[in-house]
Amino acid sequence: MKKVFISLSIALAVMIGFIIGNIITERAFSNMFDRSQVSSGGKIDAILNIINKQYVDSVDTPELIEEAIPKILSGLDPHSVYIPASDLQSVNEELEGSFSGIGVQFNIQHDTVMIVGVISGGPSEKLGILPGDRIVTVNDTLFVGKDITNEKVMKKLRGKKGTTVSIGIQRNDEKELLPFTIERGDIPVSSIDVAYKITDEIGYVKVSKFGGNTYEEFFSALNNLQNRGASKFIIDLRSNSGGYLESAIQMINEFLEKGSLIVYTEGKSEPRRDAIATGSGLFLENPLVILIDEWSASASEIFAGAIQDNDRGMIIGRRSFGKGLVQQQIPLRDGSAVRLTISRYYTPSGRSIQKPYEDESDYENDIMNRYLHGEFDSEDSIHVNKADSIEYHTLKEGRVVYGGGGIMPDIFVPRDTFGMTSYFNKVNNSGLLYEYAFQYADQNRAKLKSFPDYQALENYLNTQNLSELFAGFAAGKGIRRNPYLISKSNSLIENRLKAYIVRNISGDEGFYPIINQRDNTLKRAVEELSR
């Protein structure tokens, strides 16, 4: 079973985030071209000419160049990359705030494209396409089978605004395929997964990336929460791999008093540039907690570092990724681009949080090594910052902080292993939890949609003995019942199933409040703000 939403899988999103990094601005290709010609362009041209004239076989020179450029850049640092023209649009769309398509979220189950969500106001909603519909044909061609991938689906459904695509829909209560011709339109890409009140006075905002529209979405979320009575905020940057530096600066500016240093950047060819708070933020006095983990990188670390170094709020979670390099996107004439590291960024106390990358293998395996060393489970296992890095001090209270390997949280919270058993790992890693939740939601959609809100729906699901029903489903898929392990994992299984079912019915606004009920890091943040 392949789980996928319209933006690709979480893992791919994280890797795209690391590729994107922090982008300051684009510069004209001609400037870069002139500099490269002076230094080494002649030798490269000479080698290509020799190959074309004397090599034993014919050579596709453009293809050779495409293969050579990434190898050249790989010798610089882990985040300087080449983006082929064929990939540039999809990579940019992650941060640009919108793309053109039909406006559905989907996953692939049993070799069929299942629509799990329809974007409000999008082209599909306007035509009456519903969650639970199956896409069986695209442009009068059968579109099912083992060869269907998320990439193929998006290639078919996305396209230029104003163009059309014809799909055939199979709906549960209809015997015949339902034909739809959909005109593609702009589909917003939200950076804010959810914003809601956890308590009467504490608001929670989860930020998934720092894109072109993130500041506006972020400000709106905070403002709405404040208007509803929230006076303290938790900003969740876990698994946020970064994005636009400017968006992060604008967001941080909402919390810092005038004259506070937010971040500064500096490189061999880039003079030092300071980002200073203007004092115009509307949330200068609100108590604040930032959540981070090992996948919080780049702009997320700038955010956490600025808040920590200015003693403005508390950082809770686990040590962040450790990316302190700034990339600039340089367009090339054929529609491709180079994202080149041009400077390092430094937190207000002067620390670079970039982890060493001289050993490529160590860099690529760093997160796994942290896990194997026990860092996710015990604060005492964290040694990189304390043992191998220079001490810095926060600007107001003089607290010791460290650079050289990510942001160290003020309060460490280990990963939650309660309920984790071999049975849970099997059903979770195989995707059966999500598959059953979709099947349950699909078969009971009319009943589940009758509840006025996610709380009422959750209360109903609490009466359904979902864990037992799921165990029977999993047994039919080849995972033997184990009453002892099922009992140990019962609360975890129930929580995941309820959250997934609610997401299939009402989206993320119900999913996060339910899934967060077992979030120990979030619970600790609430405790700290409630004091």
Residues 6+ apart with CB under 8 A from 225: 195, 196, 197, 203, 205, 233
pLDDT of residue 258: 98
Catalytic residue among 209, 323, 355, 498: 323
Same domain, 150 and 222: no
Identity of the amino acid at 427 = V
Same domain, 241 and 348: yes
CB 78 within 8 A of CB 15: no
Number of domains in the chain: 3
Whether 7 has a pLDDT exceeding 90, the answer reads no
323 is catalytic: yes
Same domain, 264 and 243: yes
For the segment 102-123, the average pLDDT, to the nearest whole number, is: 90
Identity of the amino acid at 419 = G
pLDDT of residue 25: 37
CA distance 410 to 291: 10
What DSSP assignment string belongs to 217-234?
A: HHHHHHHHHHHTT--EEE
pLDDT of residue 391: 87
3-state DSSP assignment of residue 179: strand
Last residue of a domain, one of 171, 188, 205: 188
3-state DSSP assignment of residue 323: coil
CATH number at residue 274: 3.90.226.10
Run of H or E residues at 489: helix 483-506
CB 338 within 8 A of CB 73: yes
Cα 105–Cα 108–Cα 109 angle in degrees, nearest 5: 130
Q: What are phi and psi of 178, to 5 degrees?
A: -100, 120
CB 79 within 8 A of CB 327: yes
pLDDT of residue 15: 44
Task: Decide if 18 is inside a domain.
Answer: no
CA distances to 229, 435, 469, 476 from 493, in Å: 33, 13, 11, 17
- Tens of pLDDT, residue by residue over 286-324, are 999 999 999 999 999 999 999 999 999 999 999 999 999
Residue range of the domain that includes 510: 422-522
Whether 273 has a pLDDT exceeding 90, the answer reads yes
Assigned token pair, 46: 């000479």
Task: Decide if 225 is inside a domain.
Answer: yes
CA distance 309 to 320: 15
Same domain, 167 and 248: no
Residues 6+ apart with CB under 8 A from 282: 219, 222, 223, 254
Kindly provide the residue ranges of all beta strands, DSSP E only, lying in 253-324, ordered along the sequence: 261-266, 273-276, 288-292, 314-317
Confidence of residue 381 (pLDDT cuts 50, 70, 90): confident
Same domain, 408 and 433: no
Confidence of residue 2 (pLDDT cuts 50, 70, 90): very low
Identity of the amino acid at 335 = G
Catalytic residue among 308, 327, 389, 506: 327
Task: Decide if 496 is inside a domain.
Answer: yes
How many Cα atoms are found within 13 Å in the side-chain-facing hemisphere of 302?
32
Task: Decide if 410 is inside a domain.
Answer: yes
Task: Decide if 78 is inside a domain.
Answer: no
Same domain, 182 and 197: no
CB 492 within 8 A of CB 418: yes
Assigned token pair, 332: 């090339």
Same domain, 257 and 378: yes
Count the Cβ atoms, other than its own, within 10 Å of residue 210. Answer: 32
- Tens of pLDDT, residue by residue over 188-230, are 889 999 999 999 999 999 999 999 999 999 999 999 999 999 9
Task: Decide if 263 is inside a domain.
Answer: yes
Task: Decide if 14 is inside a domain.
Answer: no
Q: Identify the sign of the CA torsion 102, 103, 108, 114.
A: negative
- Tens of pLDDT, residue by residue over 316-368, are 999 999 999 999 999 999 999 999 999 999 999 999 999 988 888 888 899 99
End-to-end CA distance of the chain: 45
CATH number at residue 169: 2.30.42.10
Last residue of a domain, one of 147, 171, 188: 188
Same domain, 355 and 496: no
Task: Decide if 37 is inside a domain.
Answer: no
327 is catalytic: yes
Catalytic residue among 191, 298, 329, 489: 298
Bridge partners of residue 391, in order along the sequence:
402
Please report, rounded to a whole number, the percentage of residues in the chain having pLDDT higher than 90: 73
Instruction: Supply the angle between the helices 432-443 and 466-476 in degrees, to the nearest 10.
Output: 110
Bridge partners of residue 112, in order along the sequence:
109
Last residue of a domain, one of 401, 417, 433: 417
CA distance 291 to 378: 17
- Tens of pLDDT, residue by residue over 8-61, are 343 334 444 444 444 443 333 233 334 443 345 578 889 989 999 999 999 898
Same domain, 498 and 372: no
Strands 411-412 and 314-317: parallel
CA distance 458 to 52: 67
Q: 222-257: string of b/e by CB count within 10 Å (b at 16+)? A: beebeeeebebbbbbbbbbbbbbbbbbbbbbbbbbe
Same domain, 183 and 264: no
Same domain, 355 and 497: no
Same domain, 355 and 478: no
CA distance 96 to 190: 10
CB 316 within 8 A of CB 289: yes
298 is catalytic: yes
Kindly provide the residue ranges of all beta strands, DSSP E only, lying in 347-472, ordered along the sequence: 391-393, 400-402, 411-412
